[in-house]
A and B are shown apart, each in its own frame.
Chain A
């Protein structure tokens, strides 16, 4: 059995005084799309931030390609091949679409790969034609859906081995969410990048994922293939509570 690309072992993360993650373990194999679903406040974004190095765990490990990722500072994590599309998109609103994309490729540009980045950018704009239309516009003026596309394109320009998507549906209208998830399916089909998806909308995530984990109050409550979990009523209970008595 091949080594997982990413593996999280007994991760405990404190956020201020709150113990946001109480010892979670999961793994992502190369080429998979793994979803981590759970309701708000369950600890999903904390997990993503810890993988990317923005938060330091209290105990436990994050291992990527067999090497420890815990303790690596955030700007180094990208160099190792892990890129994140943050919660709320977080495009650089005061800079143009073009510059946002450029910044996504920052690490590669510093390494001198100008030509390859330019080629990749061209290709990316082919996948996201709306971005090409708005290339010189300020990113802050884009609609929510367009910003989401931009954030994904930006992350992909670093040619990551692992792409982390933090709640891509947040704040978007259902029609736009459809588009975003169609894109995620496309990425999965291309099998270039391994995907770890964190989502509140459980069903959407389970429909695109290979495997999934359900996280609740900082611990993993369920795990299995996406198909199994779709049919499992416990998923709904994790969100809406055990059956009420009145």
Chain B
């Protein structure tokens, strides 16, 4: 029973990794850059959501909508300020440093303009676990058995819904197919009349909004703080690369692997080392199959 609970928590955490990994994939597909600040966007979502929902008492959906808006604007700003200028430059990897820089500015800005403390974010569905298979008490409540936090269920459902929605959008709508076309061959996509700059902008805005929503989803389960995104962002790379940088489904698999392995390692080995299995798999993959489990191997031509 306890293992089942662990698994559910692991899956929930894993879906958050999957969301961020998905965000990495979206912008990598269209711009061939990896957004090193995406974890901090998750934090941005969590912090803005916290301020609106908990501190100012907005209704949850209002706060969520605002978070999505902030995320979109942030993504556009990131593209214009950090990514586009560095792509224009001579250096091959200037954008790594540029997105890294934006990430640490975001984190520090949160510390300075908001707080350096950790805060508890109340789940909109309540913080006490739903219980199953337990013993019914005299007052009608249940104790023992399987305890599942409603927020974890929310995380899993909403994350899957987001991934499914985006994938459906890519496969079923004309604009979605245009995005896929730009990912595959920018120039030929232009020849079809597709504005590649707009597609790239869209992909950045989508990616950061998703990360922000992820922040609001995960906040009730962990704690909201200015630093909540940094290590999470790094771990999400693992999920991304495990799943293959261009695959949406792969991001989910990668995320689940990471979340569950963390949960189990924390319980059965030690909490300090919970990150290690994910890291080890990442390094092994990058050594032997850099395109990930689901990605396409690139053909290198001289």
Option from B174, B185, B193, B196 in Cβ contact (under 8 Å) with A92: B185
Query: What chain B residues lie within 8 Å of A104 (beta carbons)?
Result: 192
Q: Is B167 an interface residue (CB 8 A)?
A: no
Question: Are A53 and B174 CB-contacts (below 8 A) given A92-B184, A103-B181?
Answer: no
Cβ contact within 8 Å between B184 and A93: yes
Interface-forming stretch among A26-34, A78-86, A191-199, A222-230?
A: A78-86
B184, A94: Cβ atoms closer than 8 Å? yes
Which residues of the partner chain B approach A95 to less than 8 Å between Cβ atoms? Answer: 177, 180-181, 184
Partner of A90, one of B174, B178, B188, B193: B188
Q: B184, A74: Cβ atoms under 8 Å? A: no
Mark B184-202 against chain A: 1 for CB-CB distance below 8 A, else 0: 1101111111111000000
* Total residues of chain A contacting the partner, CB 8 A: 28
A106 touches B193 (CB 8 A): yes
Q: For A52, what are the chain B residues with a Cβ–Cβ distance below 8 Å?
A: 190-191
Q: Are A158 and B193 in contact (CB under 8 A)?
A: yes
Q: A75-B196, A92-B185, A93-B184 are in contact. Are A99 and B177 (CB under 8 A)?
A: yes
Given contacts A90-B185, A109-B174, A110-B174, contact A78 B191 (CB under 8 A): yes
Q: Across the interface, do A74 and B174 meet the contact criterion of CB distance under 8 Å?
A: no
A110 to B174, CA, bound (A): 9
Task: Return A98 CB to nearest CB of chain B, in Å.
Answer: 10
Q: Contacts of B177 on A, CB cut-off 8 Å?
A: 95, 99, 102-103
CB–CB B194/A106 < 8 A? yes
Q: Which residues of A contact B181 (CB under 8 A)?
A: 92, 95, 103
The reply to whether B178 and A106 contact each other, CB–CB distance below 8 Å, is yes
Question: How far is B196's CA from A106's CA once the two chains are assembled, in angstroms?
Answer: 13
The distance from the CB of A76 to the nearest CB of chain B, in whole angstroms, is 8
Task: Give Cα A218–Cα B115 distance, bound, in whole angstroms.
Answer: 63
Q: How far is the CA of A140 from the CA of B85 in the complex (A)?
A: 34
Would you list which residues of chain A between 35 and 92 have a CB under 8 Å from chain B?
52-54, 73-76, 78-79, 83-84, 86, 90, 92
A-B contact pairs, 28 of them (CB 8 A): A52-B190, A53-B190, A54-B190, A74-B190, A75-B190, A75-B196, A78-B191, A84-B191, A86-B188, A90-B185, A90-B188, A92-B181, A92-B184, A92-B188, A92-B189, A93-B184, A94-B180, A95-B177, A95-B180, A103-B189, A103-B192, A106-B192, A106-B193, A106-B194, A107-B193, A109-B174, A154-B192, A155-B191
Closest 3 CB pairs between A and B?
A74-B190, A78-B193, A107-B193
